[in-house]
């Protein structure tokens, strides 16, 4: 159009009296609305990859012959290999073929599985793409026992003192993540009991033949430890003082709870009283109070600090004694009838329905507590409730 206008202008000002009546303006090109991009779908895929761990009596380990009828019926043949690491890959459909900028490998906790991280992964991936234009993926590891939902293999591993099986499974997933992520940006995280597996992996030397160490933490950009009921930050940006206070709650708050139940200053160590806070914490720029934090989950009538603490004592008792020895929790001290832990500690009365009036071993007590129809499963079901988005 601009060219036509200039042409007309020149024609009107020329002195040759040329005829401009035959000029036709070029029509405007049609407006074409580009198609809407396809909707980004949060997707997942389960992947099985070989693991370096080949524990005894495991299908797939050299020399092991499968003759168990249930396994043969489940897998349909004798060609069974359970020496695999299994993970669920969470990704966005429109980014699935692109190299991710980073991969977060997460390990579920007690009674958890890869699906534990479904909502976390969706929130994280969508927010990373929208807010930072980053392509992230979450790879959630399943323990190899999830292949059968069975604990026999883990029991054998414990008996044979072969604790690296799960770490080697995780290592296989980490190596696979390195081959996919940009610039080696692989993070490892865990929830609940998964935090212990995460820490163990980071501290493990995978060079089992000696020589130059092959350390787990050297393969990671960072560790992510998820636990508790899951508080979240708001969408508003936080200042350094607020973030320092959050850190202090996890440090000084736990310290104060264990030591003397006293609130502390921002350093997490200096004790302070509510009415003298300004004076007690005058040496610090941030004079906010750090309240004591419970180190255990508490659900009145169900879970208590006492219940969770004695589980460690019972576990030690179970490892030192067989199933014929009465649990230390039921043992009457000083030969006084009824002078035992379960009877004397009110918070442990929840164990009474498990044992009744009979004498049981710590092995049996833990089994009843952890059984899929037992108390732990019931507590997990009752305690489970809908959670808001972690980014609210």
**pLDDT at site 258:** 56
Which is more confident, 152 or 217? 217
Determine the Cα–Cα distance for residues 392 and 387; give it in Å rounded to an integer.
11
**pLDDT at site 218:** 93
CA distances from 138 to 100, 113, 146, 190, 231 (A): 10, 14, 19, 12, 21
Cβ proximity of 235 and 224 under 8 Å: no
Give the alpha-carbon dihedral of 190, 192, 195, 196, to 10 degrees: -140
CATH 1.10.20 fits 42-226, yes or no: no
Which is more confident, 301 or 205? 205
Residues 6+ apart with CB under 8 A from 20: 8, 11, 12
Is residue 215 predicted with pLDDT exceeding 60?
Answer: yes
pLDDT in tens, 58-116: 899 999 998 888 888 878 888 889 999 999 999 998 887 889 999 999 999 877 888 88
**pLDDT at site 106:** 94
Q: Where in the sequence of the chain do the CATH 3.40.50 domains occur?
A: 42-226
Dump the DSSP string for 170-225. Answer: HHHHHHHHHHHSGGG-EEEEEETTHHHHHHHHHH-B--TTSSS--BGGGG-SEEEE
Q: What is the DSSP letter of 254?
A: H
Which residue in this structure is represented by tokens 């092959």? 214
Q: Binning pLDDT at 50, 70 and 90, where does residue 187 land?
A: very high
**pLDDT at site 351:** 81
Q: Give ∠ CA 316-296-292 in degrees, rounded to 5.
A: 130
42-50 vs 84-92, strand pairing mode: antiparallel
Average pLDDT over residues 15-37: 61
Cβ proximity of 144 and 169 under 8 Å: yes
**Phi and psi at residue 302, to the nearest 5°:** -125, -70
**pLDDT at site 380:** 47
pLDDT in tens, 1-21: 444 433 333 444 444 444 545
């Amino acid at each position: 159009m601009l060219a036509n206008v200039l042409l007309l202008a020149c024609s009107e000002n020329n002195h040759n009296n040329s005829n401009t009546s035959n000029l036709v303006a070029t029509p405007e090109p049609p407006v074409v609305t580009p198609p809407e991009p396809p909707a980004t779908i949060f997707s997942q895929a389960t992947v099985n990859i070989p693991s370096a761990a080949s524990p005894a009596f495991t299908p797939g380990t050299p020399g092991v012959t499968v003759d168990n009828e249930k396994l043969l019926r489940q897998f349909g043949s004798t060609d069974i290999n359970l020496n695999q690491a299994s993970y669920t890959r969470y990704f966005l459909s429109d980014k699935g073929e692109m190299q991710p900028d980073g991969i977060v490998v997460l390990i579920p906790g007690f009674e958890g599985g890869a699906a534990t991280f479904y909502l976390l992964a969706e929130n994280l991936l969508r927010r990373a793409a929208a807010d930072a234009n980053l392509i992230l993926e979450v790879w959630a590891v399943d323990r190899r026992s999830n292949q059968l939902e069975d604990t026999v293999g883990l029991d054998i591993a414990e008996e044979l003192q072969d604790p690296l099986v799960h770490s080697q499974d995780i290592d296989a997933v980490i190596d696979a993540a390195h081959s996919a992520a940009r610039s080696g940006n692989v993070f490892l995280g865990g929830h609940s009991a998964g935090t212990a597996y995460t820490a163990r992996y980071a501290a493990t030397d995978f060079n089992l033949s000696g020589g130059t160490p092959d350390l787990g933490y050297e393969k990671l950009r960072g560790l992510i430890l998820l636990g508790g009921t899951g508080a979240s930050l708001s969408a508003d940006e936080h200042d350094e003082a607020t973030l320092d206070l959050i850190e202090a709650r996890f440090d000084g708050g736990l310290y104060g709870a264990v030591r003397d139940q006293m609130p502390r200053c921002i350093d997490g160590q200096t004790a302070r009283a509510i009415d003298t806070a300004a004076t007690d914490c005058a040496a610090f720029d941030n004079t906010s109070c750090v309240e004591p934090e419970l180190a255990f989950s508490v659900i009145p009538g169900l879970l208590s600090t006492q219940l969770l603490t004695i589980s460690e004592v019972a576990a030690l008792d179970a490892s030192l004694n067989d199933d014929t020895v009465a649990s230390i929790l039921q043992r009457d001290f000083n030969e006084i009838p009824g002078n035992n832990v379960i009877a004397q500690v009110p918070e442990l009365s929840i164990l009474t329905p498990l044992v009744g009036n009979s004498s049981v071993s710590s092995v049996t007590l833990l089994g009843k507590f952890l059984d899929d129809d037992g108390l732990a499963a019931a507590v997990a079901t009752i305690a489970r409730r809908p959670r808001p988005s972690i980014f609210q």
